[in-house]
Chain A
């Protein structure tokens, strides 16, 4: 069975052809060889329905190369939680964000900068209960819970910085504003928020 040169390591192929590998074709860059990158991250954002507090959670993301020029597509799923209290209520909001994104990346050495736009949906699950819930429940007081759901669109823009600290592993930091519309307190609420993430990814 004949062995095609393209299927061999560069050094062996050059040995077969009798020409130095470096002189015939430069080694492909890391970006060009990456097809898919999968990562996980911790996520923090300002709350989308509550006036104070901070969302904290995590998520997973996948992205793949679109163009040789550095464009890429992506998708991510993230879940975060925040809990705040008023005089009468303890409200916990779980935010589930699912988004698709497109972006562009500039690489230099082991580092990279990126900018991306995301579009998706944000689902908020509210778990609310009265302060002193257990005491009130034991005392037979009714109407102690306020659970709810809200689903709205999500648009986000982010800048990211990435360092391949141990190729193909890399660490990524990203930050950017987001916008969503949710049904909060009986009214449609348009809300800007700030989102940040710190994650680790692996290229394949």
Chain B
């Protein structure tokens, strides 16, 4: 009797690895959450010019808005290049899906990763990420939603590849449907896409909606099982929603003459006798401010890092 136990056990083990099994590195992971969206095809197809439509969940970046744009907003050429301080700035594309033009405009976007650190704002215990569901025409047909990123060199240099046709979160000044990921506490005083008057969103993924900026009853949070319906966007806003440029404005000391040669030289704007701006052309314009007296945080300089007011650079064109 005892002698038959070992062979039987060995036979069983040989017949099959048992106990349910283990995994290798090919183990698939279910989505962390899923976004369900629907877009009005009749409204957006004319904007797409026949290109296939793609939907994407895009996490919002920290807007980089220079106070120089506010100080010199009366300059029309500068104002045209300055970003809208209330606009959603795309940071990173999390998930994409093609929208069937033969269907009802619905789509699903699985979320497989947490928002990257660059778009999660807060401290060690309190972080928030805001996302917009953006529908774009895949104009270059590469099967991706291409953001124009001037910082990394990804995407075409100065020309948007894809045209945004709808977004669920376009600007703080319009109704919004934000995909939210909250970790830890919630800072209602944060200026990172503030949801004024809204109750704190729940921890984890959720959907925050606002009918209009304003009273608390106009906004709230629901689970991601609710449908998100991006709304069509105009030409100007479409351009902003595709410009992933965290560094669109810079400040530097006017120690060297700007390079005005090259294929697309910047436009030189004398904002006043002591302030020069270089506006680099393109659909996602960049601005470099060169104040004679200033610092990296110009114009808020307690202790200026440079002062060239008494020793004007030879090439300085303003105030002459």
The chain A residues found within 8 Å of chain B, CB to CB, are 49-52, 84-86, 88-89, 91, 93, 119, 121, 123-124, 126, 128, 130, 132, 135-136, 138-141, 143, 146, 148-153, 181-186, 188-189
Contact = CB atoms under 8 A, between A and B. Distances in A.
Given A128-B27, A136-B32, 20 more contacts: A89-B29, A91-B23, A91-B24, A130-B29, A136-B114, A139-B204, A141-B32, A148-B21, A149-B21, A150-B19, A151-B13, A152-B13, A152-B14, A152-B16, A153-B10, A153-B13, A182-B22, A184-B22, A185-B27, A188-B17
Given A89-B25, A151-B18, A139 B203 contact: yes
Contacts of A153: 10, 13-14
Contacts of B183: 135, 138-139
A49 B22 contact: yes
B17 A52 contact: no
A124 B22 contact: yes
B172 interface: no
A130 B32 CA distance: 10
Contacts of A121: 9, 13
A139 B181 CA distance: 8
Given A49-B22, A91-B25, A135 B17 contact: no
Nearest to A100: B6
15 contacts: A51-B25, A89-B23, A121-B9, A139-B204, A141-B33, A149-B19, A149-B22, A150-B22, A151-B13, A151-B19, A152-B14, A153-B13, A182-B21, A184-B24, A188-B16
A130 B29 CA distance: 8
Nearest to B25: A86
A28 B156 CA distance: 85
A185 B29 contact: no
Contacts of B21: 148-150, 182-186
B203 A150 contact: no
Contacts of B29: 88-89, 130
Contacts of A150: 17-22
Given A139-B183, A141-B204, A182 B17 contact: yes
A152 B18 contact: yes
A181 B246 CA distance: 53
B46 interface: no
B15 to A, nearest CB: 9
Interface string B27-56: 111101100000000000000000000000
B114 A132 contact: yes
B130 interface: no
A149 B19 CA distance: 5
A183 B204 contact: no
A123 B19 CA distance: 9
Of A85, A119, A126, most B-chain CB atoms within 10 Å: A126
Nearest to B184: A138
A136 B21 CA distance: 25
Interface in B1-16: 9-10, 13-14, 16
A185 B204 CA distance: 30
A184 B24 CA distance: 7
A185 B23 contact: yes
Q: Which of B20, B25, B32, B112 has the most CB of A within 10 A?
A: B25
Contacts of A136: 32, 114
B32 A181 contact: no
A181 B17 contact: yes
B153 interface: no
A143 B28 CA distance: 12
A185 B16 contact: no
B51 to A, nearest CB: 30
B199 to A, nearest CB: 17
B19 A183 contact: yes
